[in-house]
């Protein structure tokens, strides 16, 4: 595999599929993941270990992890709402666990039905669970600061509360924290501000990733601010599907295709072949009839004379 500058983390199979009503068949999910990995995507969040009763769309996450683990060079990420989910994720063999902590306590109660202290306690239990594993088998553990750019129920969240919770996640034993614009409230100035704030608390190396939505059309402008702030892992969703089912009006992840185009056009290597990535859309479209896919690049195509930042090849 070639060296890359930016890690694009595909969250469609988790954040996308949890927001659509129809259930994508397991075979189609596998085909999607296979095709994106072949296009050069190196990290995919394949699902969430939540009760199947709550999100039947993601009930096959364990099988998907097992399948994705057979793809060489792919980091298999999953979302875990609590310690029970983390136990299942570890048993399935996931490479990366993300525990969301909504910095808005109102949203945290609505989304995870837990107070901040309860979520931090789950983080502790998960970190201990991971530490008990042999060194080579420990998944990476991220605490994601969700609704960090503001909450549809509470509005803006005070800096001091965000800083305290970022610190709390690291103290609980997370390897790093991430910023998540659950509600699509971010703007470039806020992205710059929060990177500075949170890195000031946890250090540069413990904040490298951001999860942005395109709810108000600012998704890629926020990406640019995040790049300038030094972040190197960017979440996005093929076709822009997805959002947070518990934050009204928060639909619309940033579109992987448009994101990769912007990065490559700027000379930032993603390792992803744009033509191969665009071809993945038909797999998702066929498996989700009636669901709208987003994206500008798929309609407009690449500019005349466009070349990618660096040669890409299939993951060996």
Residues interacting with a copy of itself, by CB under 8 A? 150-156, 183-185, 187-190, 214-218, 220-221, 223-225, 249, 252, 255, 258, 261-262, 265-267, 295-297, 300-301, 303-305
Our answer to whether residue 151 is catalytic in this structure is no
Crossing angle (nearest 10°) for helices 219-228 and 256-265: 40
Nearest distance, CB of residue 39 and a copy of itself, angstroms: 18
Work out how close the CB of 221 gets to a copy of itself at its nearest, in angstroms, rounded to a whole number. Answer: 4
* DSSP letter assigned to residue 16: I
In the complex with a copy of itself, the residue whose CB is nearer, 71 or 265, is 265
Residue 170's closest CA among 192, 128, 142, 196?
142
The residue (of 275 and 314) whose beta carbon lies closer to a copy of itself is: 275
- Pairing between strand 96-102 and 75-79? parallel
Compare residues 9 and 183 and give the one whose CB is closer to a copy of itself. 183
* Residue among 244, 277, 287, 297 flagged as catalytic: 244
Report how far apart, in Å, the C-alpha atoms of 190 and of each of 95, 248, 299 are: 30, 21, 30
Secondary structure E strands in 139-265: 140-146, 176-180, 207-211, 233-236
Using alpha carbons, select from 143, 147, 79, 78 the residue that is nearest to residue 108: 147
First to last CA, the chain: 7
Least distance in Å: CB of 311 to a copy of itself?
19
Rounded Cα distance, 133 and 58, in Å: 26
| Cβ atoms 272, 233 nearer than 8 A | no
Q: How far apart are CA 283 and CA 287, in angstroms?
A: 6
For residues 262 and 283, which CB has a smaller minimum distance to a copy of itself in the complex? Answer: 262
Whichever of 55 and 218 has its CB closer to a copy of itself, that residue is 218
Q: Nearest distance from residue 258's CB to a copy of itself, in Å?
A: 4
CA distance 279 to 238: 11
Q: How far is the CB of 27 from a copy of itself (least distance, A)?
A: 31
Tokens of 248: 């009204």
Please report how close the Cβ of residue 267 comes to a copy of itself at its closest, in angstroms. Answer: 6
Q: What angle do CA 208, 210, 215 make, to 5 degrees?
A: 165
Q: How many helices (H) and strands (E) does the chain have?
A: 11, 8
- Which residue lies nearer to a copy of itself by CB, 304 or 316? 304
- What is the chain's Cα-based Rg? 18
Q: Please identify every residue annotated as catalytic.
A: 244
């Amino acid at each position: 595999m070639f060296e890359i500058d930016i890690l694009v983390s595909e969250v469609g199979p988790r954040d996308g599929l949890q927001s659509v009503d129809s259930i994508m068949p397991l075979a189609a999910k596998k085909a999607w993941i296979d095709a994106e990995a072949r296009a050069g995507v190196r990290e995919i969040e394949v699902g969430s270990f939540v009760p199947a009763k709550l999100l039947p769309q993601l009930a096959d996450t364990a099988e998907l992890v097992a399948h994705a683990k057979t793809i060489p060079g792919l980091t298999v990420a999953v979302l875990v709402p609590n310690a029970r989910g983390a136990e299942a994720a570890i048993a399935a063999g996931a490479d990366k666990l993300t525990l969301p902590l909504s910095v808005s306590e109102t949203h945290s109660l609505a989304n995870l039905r837990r107070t901040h202290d309860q979520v931090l306690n789950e983080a502790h239990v998960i970190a201990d669970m991971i530490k008990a594993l042999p060194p080579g088998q420990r998944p990476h553990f991220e605490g994601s600061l969700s609704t960090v750019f503001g909450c549809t129920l509470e509005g803006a969240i005070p800096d001091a509360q965000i800083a305290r919770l970022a610190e709390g996640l690291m103290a609980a034993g997370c390897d790093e924290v991430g910023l998540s614009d659950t509600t699509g409230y971010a703007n470039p100035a806020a992205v710059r501000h929060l990177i500075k704030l949170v890195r000031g608390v946890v250090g540069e190396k413990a904040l490298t990733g951001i999860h942005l939505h395109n709810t108000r059309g600012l998704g890629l402008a926020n990406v640019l601010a995040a790049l300038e702030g030094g972040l190197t892992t960017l979440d996005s969703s093929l076709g822009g599907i997805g959002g947070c089912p518990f934050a009204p009006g928060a639909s619309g992840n940033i579109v992987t295709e448009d994101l990769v185009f912007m990065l490559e056009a700027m000379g930032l290597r993603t390792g992803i072949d744009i033509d191969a990535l665009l071809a993945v859309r038909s797999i998702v479209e066929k498996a989700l009839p009636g669901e709208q896919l987003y994206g500008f690049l798929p309609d407009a195509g690449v500019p005349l004379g466009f070349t990618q930042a660096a040669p890409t090849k299939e993951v060996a």
